[in-house]
Every structure is written in structure tokens, then in C-alpha cells.
Amino acid sequence: MLRLYTHPACLQHDPGPGHAERPARLRAVLQALDHDRYAALDRVEAPRATREQLLRVHGSNHVERILASAPPAGTTFTLDEDTVMSPGSAEAAVRAAGAVVAAVDAVMSGASQRAFCAVRPPGHHATRDQAMGFCLFNNIAVGAAHALAAHGLRRIAIADFDVHHGNGTQAIFEREPRVLFASSHQSPLYPGSGGEDECGVGNIVNGTLSPGAGSHEFRELWDGVLLPRLHAFKPQLVLVSAGFDAHRNDPLADIRLGQEDYAWITERLLTLARTHARGRLVSSLEGGYDLAALAASTAAHVGALME
């Protein structure tokens, strides 16, 4: 059975009118999953991440700044030109990170084999000491560090198919050989990192897509480069940064994928998990900014995870 982790607090993070990372994103995802096809989802309320869990990947000054920066009602607080906090942002952020931690515990205990975290704010741009790119805490990194510390795993794979490079996840783990980070992303594009020469300690695998690339280039990159490296690593757990902003209709990038491509990559990652990780896979929502495209792509991803 597939577990779905979410929390109403994730809708209360509101960067303000006109911001791409808006509450309507999560509402669109949840509405798409409110359908008979998804009736079998095991829906669970996301807990809060603890300070201990956050501090495994973030510095104490960063954690305290986010937790203490909630602005007064009706106002916002700007962390950088893209990243804004509202009164509900800190609670949303600890629930988003906590969802991934809880999902890791569920798949490691056998309570569920797979999980999807429908949460926001997203996480993969957040570095150890900096919120950026709409991200406050690095949700997937918090989950990976928890799997290392609490479950004693020796090999964790993070697959990131968001159209933007997960610079925060790479920076957090680039000296951690127990974590393999594999990413496909458009280049050039924000945040300007993710070159194929960025290899960490042999545990970073970046694959770049040129503006205008589509299904063929995306699938060729995963089948020819990224998935072989992931299989060679033989992960004991597969984590997925599931961004859907490489869709052809997304306003923030120039890659031309459709929802069928997200079903395809999900099936490939499930095969990876079944082959090496006893089927254990946890996915967490990252980007995706056209509401219809996001809803359809997430539905395709979750539908594949349920198979």
C-alpha cells in the first residue's frame, strides 16, 4: 500500500500574491488525488520534524532563524528575492520535513513499502545554512540523514528529476559516500549549479538537459547515465525529489515533458527499489508551477507508485 503524507499546515505557507510557490499548488495536487482511483491511499497526517532531525543537515543558526522568523499576521518576511515567509511558514516547513522522516520510518519498519509526501514548501535548494529557491528546510535531505542515523543504512540513493538542480541536496551530501545523488535538470537555469563535472566523492551524478529538450532526451539521460549509476550503487532505500516543472507547460523552465514521462521515470525508480531496496521508496514533492500540469503529473507519479 502507498502512504500519502500531508498536513493542512502546508497550505498556510503563503509567500503572497503573484508568487509561483503558492498554496494553490498543493490544493491542485490534493484535489487530483481526491478521486476513486486513489481511494486505496493510506492517508497520514505529517508530524513535525524535531530540532534533532533538522540539525543533522542544517546549522543551528539556520534552524533557529526559520523557526523564529514568523512575521506578524497579514505580513511576510523576505529571506531572499525568491524565498518568503508568512505567519504559517515555519509550521509548514517542519511538517514538510517531518513528513519525509515519518515516511522513511514507515518504509523501514514495513508499515508501508512506498510513500509520497504531498507537502510544501519544497526543499531541495535549501543548503546547510541558507534558505533559497522557495525552500526553507531540505526535506529530502532531512529524511536521508534520518535514515542513516536512525536506521543504520549504508547506501541511500536520492533521485531528483525536478527541472532545477537540487544544489542544496548536493551540497549537504557531496562528502557523504553513503548517499548517491543523481539529478536531471535543465542547464543553463537557476540555480546555476549541477555541472556534469561536479562529482563529490564519486557520489554525485548530474545529467543536464538543454532548453527545448523533451521526452527522448530525458529518457535517454536516465536510461543511459543516471539509472545505471543508481543500480551500480545498490541502494538500500530510494528517495525521490519529485519536481514536475520539466512539464512542457511549466512557466519557469523550457523542457517539454508530459505526464506520461513522469509515470515512466517513476516505474524505472520502482524497479530500482525492488531490485536493491526491498521495494522501499519515499517520494517528496518539489517544484511544478502550472497547476493543471502539476496536478496531472503528480497523479501520474502517484498512480505509478500505487501499481
Q: Give per-residue pLDDT as tens, 160-206.
A: 999 999 999 999 999 999 999 999 999 999 999 999 999 999 999 99
Give the model's confidence band at 1: pLDDT under 50 very low, under 70 low, under 90 confident, else very high: confident
The set of residues, in sequence order, having a beta carbon less than 8 Å from that of 286 and lying 6+ positions away, is 122, 123, 124, 160, 162, 166, 241, 242, 243, 244, 245
Q: Which of 7, 62, 124, 125 is catalytic?
A: 125
C-alpha grid cell, residue 56: 543533522
pLDDT digits (tens, 9 = 90+) for 45-76: 999 999 999 999 999 999 999 999 889 998 99
Question: Which DSSP category does 217 fall into?
Answer: H
Cα gap 183→126, rounded to integer Å: 16
CATH number, domain containing residue 97:
3.40.800.20
Query: Does the model's pTM come out above 0.95?
Result: yes
Q: How many domains, in total, are found in the chain?
A: 1
In this prediction, residue 69 carries a pLDDT of 83
**Domain around 215:** 2-306
| Cell numbers placing 288 | 511544478
Lowest mean pLDDT among 36-50, 53-67, 68-82, 124-138: 68-82
**What SS3 state is found at 240?**
strand
Q: Residue 77 in 3-state DSSP?
A: strand
Q: Which residues have C-beta within 8 Å of that of residue 161, sequence separation ≥ 6?
A: 183, 184, 222, 240, 241, 242, 243, 246, 262, 265
Beta strands, E only, the chain = 2-6, 42-45, 77-78, 84-85, 114-117, 156-160, 179-186, 204-209, 237-242, 281-285
Angle at 301 between CA 181 and CA 121, to 5 degrees: 65
Quickly state the pLDDT bin for 300 (edges 50, 70, 90). Answer: very high
Each residue of 223-264: pLDDT tens digit?
A: 999 999 999 999 999 999 999 999 999 999 999 999 999 999
Q: Is 125 a catalytic residue?
A: yes
